Amino acid sequence: MSNVRETAVTVIESGNGPYGQFVTAGRHVMGADEPDTVGGHDTGPSPYEYLLAGLGACTAMTVRMYAQRHDWSLTQVKVSLRHIKAVPADGTAASDRFERILTLSGELTDEQKARLLAIAEKCPVTVTLKRASDVVARLA
């Protein structure tokens, strides 16, 4: 029997410009939008910024959990991220690259830092992005 986990988010147009959205995740309400450069009003992070935020938060949390479990002296985790979409001129499929730079503060050995970097690769969002996923849409 498989272990099924479900996460639910609702997104509805905010009326704030052509692309403004309200994002509701549990009891949290946030904005989303596109930048001015593509016709939005920049009232919130873009969808790709949310994707990067999810990847960064998951990475930091996974590294923190591992360090705590091993009682390592990790005082702060910082994850800087960027997304690069390469669109080939020949019309073939675009490729996505997600880059993370981890800054680990605390009294850690080089071996501990290397292990935490390896553990970052095991964060659930990283694992999800690296495998194929089904994305389906249906009408209510």
Over the stretch 75-132, which tens digit does the pLDDT of each residue have?
A: 999 999 999 998 888 988 888 999 999 999 999 999 999 999 999 999 999 999 999 8
3-class DSSP state of 103: strand
Q: CB 47: neighbour CB atoms within 10 A?
A: 14
List all residues 6 or more positions away from 47 whose beta carbon is below 8 Å from its beta carbon.
Answer: 32
DSSP structure class, residue 12: E
Residue from 45, 54, 59, 56 nearest 81 by CA: 56
Q: CB 67: neighbour CB atoms within 10 A?
A: 21
The per-residue pLDDT for 7 is: 87
* 52 alpha carbon, distance to own chain's centre: 4
The per-residue pLDDT for 69 is: 98
The per-residue pLDDT for 132 is: 84
Looking at the predicted structure, is the pLDDT value of residue 29 above 70?
yes
Residue from 75, 43, 41, 79 nearest 60 by CA: 79
Looking at the predicted structure, is the pLDDT value of residue 73 above 80?
yes
The per-residue pLDDT for 1 is: 56
Bridge-based pairing of strands 28-32 and 21-25 is: antiparallel
Within 38-122, residue ranges assigned H as helices are 47-69, 110-120
Over the stretch 45-59, which tens digit does the pLDDT of each residue have?
A: 999 999 999 999 999
Do 25 and 35 form a contact (C-beta atoms < 8 A)?
no
